[in-house]
């Protein structure tokens, strides 16, 4: 049956995927790499609900993104519910309630599914996994720099060799637009065009405004403010009000801290970056990997979001999208070789106690060991092991071999070793025999 046929009993909805063992193993490898970085930086994992009342997400998603929320009705209350669209508001609510009296700063992480109703494309489904961190209670530039530095370390942990972090400041964009003295609706349209990097629409909107030509040009110049440290000097000429000047000063300080980290080879300043969520209030960044057109990570400051839940508190954070990460690893990283179980135990003896002991000994030492409990000949079992990606076979009860012995066979090289069972188990227990796990 065809999973793509919507009328088939085996069909799956558009925008979701099923992962076979090999792909699942690769995903778990990437998750472990990312989460290990989070743990080394002192972040502790939290779990949030799969669905919430709609208002947890909708005030902060923006008009365009709000259409991407999966919504349904609570049968008991009649209130609208939504599948998890963005974990950050959920963590913000957690901080404002259950964690309200914990000492600050809080360092929280998550690894969870996210649901967005958008057109499925390569590396982007309607259900996808995000792994992220939230640093709560710090408003200093050091906190923003720490987020960017962590993102760099995650990329390195994944084996990515060519990547960059585009750092922006949404308050600079908003300040430059505010200098035009536009209405809230005009401001929304302008920021939307900047967000989409739609130069034609931006020029059309500016033509209809009764504003200073220099201020209009400053808005048009925003998408060109992309590059190294020299961009900060160029941007200073466009900072026409306090909001944009303070934002630029803040970004300059963050960049200086990243220089201290020694990470600026990976950092690009992008002051035309406006694709943040509505709740972002300061420094934002986007991570890209060479060979992949779309982002693998996004983050930024959101000093007002937790306050919406009754607990004013500054915060910043970021998240990696797992599907994008795996595409980046495949394009330019070092994907691991995903193997099946480490051992297949093939036992032809009527008495299974020796085979059970060997399997238990291997498992107790952290090795993966499966028993071949189907009735077939040795060649059939070895063919099965090779097809399943199993690295080694242990054969008991084969012709010409004592019941007190086993044959250890490396399936890649074909090399065999005949070993007494007692000695084999003792050597495994003492750590004298080691294999990759």
- pLDDT tens-digit readout, 58-98: 765 555 567 899 999 999 999 999 999 999 999 999 999 99
On the question of pLDDT at 220 being above 90, the answer is no
User: For the segment 314-350, what is each residue's pLDDT rounded down to a tens digit?
Assistant: 999 999 999 999 999 998 766 777 767 899 999 999 9
What is the residue-averaged pLDDT of the chain? Answer: 91
343-347 and 392-396: which strand pairing?
A: parallel
169 neighbors 248 (Cβ within 8 angstroms): yes
Contacts of 207 (CB under 8 A, 6+ apart): none
Task: Compute the half-sphere exposure of residue 351: CA atoms within 13 Å on the CB side of its CA.
Answer: 5
- Candidate from 7-16, 280-289, 387-396, 401-410 with smallest mean pLDDT: 7-16
- pLDDT value for 333: 60
Domains, the chain, ordered by start:
21-332 (3.30.930.10), 343-429 (3.40.50.800)
Contacts of 78 (CB under 8 A, 6+ apart): none
- pLDDT value for 64: 55
Hey, how many other C-beta atoms are within 10 angstroms of the C-beta on 220?
14
Q: Does residue 375 or residue 182 have the better pLDDT?
A: 375
Distance CA 370, CA 393 (A): 10
Hey, how many other C-beta atoms are within 10 angstroms of the C-beta on 28?
12
- pLDDT value for 1: 47
- pLDDT value for 8: 81
Distance CA 354, CA 362 (A): 12
The neighbouring-strand residues paired with 321 are: 130
User: For the segment 116-166, what is each residue's pLDDT rounded down to a tens digit?
Assistant: 998 767 667 999 999 999 999 999 999 999 999 999 999 999 999 899 999
Most confident by average pLDDT, 114-128, 402-416, 423-437: 402-416
Tell me the backbone φ, ψ of residue 281, rounded to 5 degrees: -130, 5
Reduced to 3 DSSP states, what percent helix, strand and coil does the chain have, rounded to the nearest 5? 40, 20, 40
Task: Please identify which residue in the block is written with the tokens 């960017």.
Answer: 148
- pLDDT value for 276: 66
- pLDDT value for 65: 61
On the question of pLDDT at 233 being above 80, the answer is yes
Distance CA 432, CA 158 (A): 31
User: For the segment 169-194, what is each residue's pLDDT rounded down to a tens digit?
Assistant: 999 998 988 888 888 888 888 888 88
């Amino acid at each position: 049956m065809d999973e793509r046929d919507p009328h088939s009993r085996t069909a799956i909805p558009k925008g979701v995927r099923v992962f076979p063992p090999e792909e699942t193993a690769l995903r778990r490898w990437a998750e472990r790499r990312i989460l290990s970085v989070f743990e080394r930086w002192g972040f502790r994992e939290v779990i949030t609900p799969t669905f919430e009342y709609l208002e947890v997400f909708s005030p902060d998603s923006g008009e365009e993104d709000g259409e991407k929320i999966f919504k349904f009705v609570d049968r008991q209350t009649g209130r609208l519910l939504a599948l998890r669209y963005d974990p950050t508001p959920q963590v913000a609510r957690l901080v404002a309630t259950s964690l309200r009296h914990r000492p600050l700063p809080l360092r929280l992480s998550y690894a969870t599914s996210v649901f967005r109703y958008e057109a499925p494309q390569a590396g982007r489904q309607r259900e996808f996994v995000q792994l992220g961190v939230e640093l709560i209670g710090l408003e200093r530039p050091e906190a923003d720099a720490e987020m960017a530095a962590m993102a760099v370390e995650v990329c390195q942990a994944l084996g990515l060799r060519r990547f960059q972090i585009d750092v922006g400041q949404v308050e600079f964009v908003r300040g430059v637009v505010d200098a035009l003295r536009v209405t809230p609706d005009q401001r929304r349209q302008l920021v939307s065009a900047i967000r989409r990097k739609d130069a034609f629409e931006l020029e059309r909107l500016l033509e209809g405004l009764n504003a200073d030509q220099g201020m209009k040009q400053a808005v048009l110049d925003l998408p060109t403010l992309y590059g190294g440290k020299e961009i900060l000097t160029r941007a200073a000429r466009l900072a026409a009000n306090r909001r944009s000047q303070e934002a630029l000063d803040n970004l300059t300080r963050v960049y200086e801290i990243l220089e201290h980290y020694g990470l600026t080879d990976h950092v690009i300043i992008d002051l035309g970056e406006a694709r943040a969520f509505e709740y972002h209030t300061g420094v934002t960044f986007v991570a890209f990997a060479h060979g992949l057109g779309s982002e693998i990570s996004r983050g930024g400051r959101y000093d007002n979001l937790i306050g919406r839940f009754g607990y004013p508190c500054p915060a910043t954070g970021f998240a990696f999208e797992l599907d994008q990460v795996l595409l980046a690893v495949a394009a330019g990283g070092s994907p691991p070789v995903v193997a099946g179980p480490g051992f297949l135990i093939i036992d032809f003896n009527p008495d299974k106690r020796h085979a059970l002991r060997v399997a238990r000994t291997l498992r107790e030492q952290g090795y993966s060991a499966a028993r071949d409990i189907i009735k077939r000949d040795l060649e059939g079992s070895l063919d099965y092991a090779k097809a399943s990606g199993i690295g080694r076979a242990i054969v008991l009860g084969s012709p010409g071999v004592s019941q007190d012995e086993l044959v250890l066979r490396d399936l890649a090289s074909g090399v065999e070793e005949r070993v007494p069972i007692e000695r084999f188990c003792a050597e495994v227990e003492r750590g004298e025999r080691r294999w990759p796990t």
